Amino acid sequence: MKKKSLSAKKVILNSFNFKEILKDKKIFKIYKDFEKNLESLNYTNKIAVSISGGPDSMALSFLVSCYKSAKNNVIQPLFYLVDHGLRKNSAKEAIHVKKELKLKKINLKILKWKGKKPHSNLQSKARQSRYALLFSECKKYKIKSILTAHHQDDLYETFFSRLLRGSGTEGLSSFIEIEKQFVFNAYTITVARPLLNISKEDLIYIAKKVFNFYVIDPSNDMEQFQRVRLRKIIFNLKNQGLDFNKLKLTINNLAFTNKAIAEITEKNISENVTLINKKYILNKKFFSYPEEVIFRSVSIILKKLNNKYYPPRGRKLHYLVKQLIRKDQFKGTLGGAIIEKIHNSVIVSKE
């Protein structure tokens, strides 16, 4: 683990002196943006906060603690760090982060990703395991919301990543939503991103000023990861005049379109799907909608059937939908489900 070397004199506080720190005009402005975002969310008083040790999440821990103090403990944040065990010193890094937060009276719980680690699609599977561990804690302690430190730069990186994958309006715009619901083992959890309109540069500023510490992830410089290559491309585009305000406007417009499609999808499911003996029956009218609506409708049904928060991969799902539209009879499996079409009806059941 590398510790950020700073020329400024390090000041260790046993607890946050909020009034002193918020005298910094820049930090105060960032805090007010965060406060506004947090208060727009639908949350209960008990909240999980996802910490990595990077500057983004260290800043988030400070902002959450500020809010808790300013609002007389209206929230009860529980801080979690997932040690994926993918780097040699990851356990030591996690302990170091815990100690740094402890100096500020923040109690951090470390969760470990145990078992054999995958050799392919590592970042995606690590993300899924991280959420599974966090969701499990939330269900155990009846926590309904998780705050993550995703920020404005993540929004643009995700947009370009999904653009390269050929994503539709849902994939291109869904990340702009500050909060999104997931179902984990029949337990509904809201994942919220209250830093989504705050830049990484501003979050680094807070981490330096408040903690004089954060973990530097070496994978941020490894070009075998697409997000690292995209980050460099975005940096070059910015230098060449890319207007990020206009890009954000484009993403917002896509989000409006996506919302309209989502409402039609909900209508399709409510009117044309029947649940009988844990089997979903799709009638003929289900397939009278545009293909994008059918695609989303089937995706939602497959997630509900197996209580999963990620749908099957898009290409396989698109292939399935095309078969269901074109053929009078079809039987296949996908996402832990058996899908069988007999003339005008489709039955979706657990595999």
Are 197 and 211 within one domain?
yes
Tokens of 115: 């078992």
54 and 217 in contact (C-beta within 8 Å)? yes
CA distance 21 to 27: 8
The per-residue pLDDT for 194 is 95
Number of domains in the chain: 2
Q: Rg of the chain over CA atoms, in angstroms? A: 22
The per-residue pLDDT for 1 is 39
pLDDT profile of the chain (351 residues), mean per 10: 39 61 93 94 89 96 94 92 89 94 94 84 84 95 95 90 83 87 87 94 95 82 73 82 84 92 96 94 94 92 78 78 89 90 90 84
The per-residue pLDDT for 13 is 40
Are 51 and 165 within one domain?
yes
The per-residue pLDDT for 312 is 67
Q: Is residue 33 part of a domain?
A: yes
Q: Is residue 183 part of a domain?
A: yes
Are 295 and 147 within one domain?
no
The per-residue pLDDT for 308 is 67
CA distance 61 to 53: 10
Q: Is residue 3 part of a domain?
A: no
Are 223 and 326 within one domain?
no
DSSP state of 3: B
Q: Is residue 6 part of a domain?
A: no
Domain CATH number, residue 79:
3.40.50.620
CB atoms closer than 10 angstroms to residue 236: 10
The per-residue pLDDT for 313 is 67
Q: Is residue 5 part of a domain?
A: no
Are 258 and 229 within one domain?
no
Domain CATH number, residue 296:
3.30.465.60
The per-residue pLDDT for 228 is 77
Q: Which residues of 49-88 are buried (b: 16+ CB within 10 A; e: fewer)?
A: bbbbbbbbbbbbbbbbbbbbeeeeeebebbbbbbbbeeee
Are 167 and 280 within one domain?
no
The per-residue pLDDT for 272 is 97
Which of 190, 223, 242 corresponds to the end of one domain? 242
CA distance 82 to 99: 15
Are 181 and 287 within one domain?
no
Q: Is residue 323 part of a domain?
A: yes
Tokens of 230: 């995209």
Q: Which domain does 265 fall in, by range?
A: 246-350
**What is the DSSP track for 210-235?**
HTS--B--GGGG-TTSHHHHHHHHHH
190 and 42 in contact (C-beta within 8 Å)? yes
The per-residue pLDDT for 4 is 44
Are 217 and 327 within one domain?
no
The per-residue pLDDT for 26 is 96
By residue count, the chain amounts to 351
Are 64 and 201 within one domain?
yes
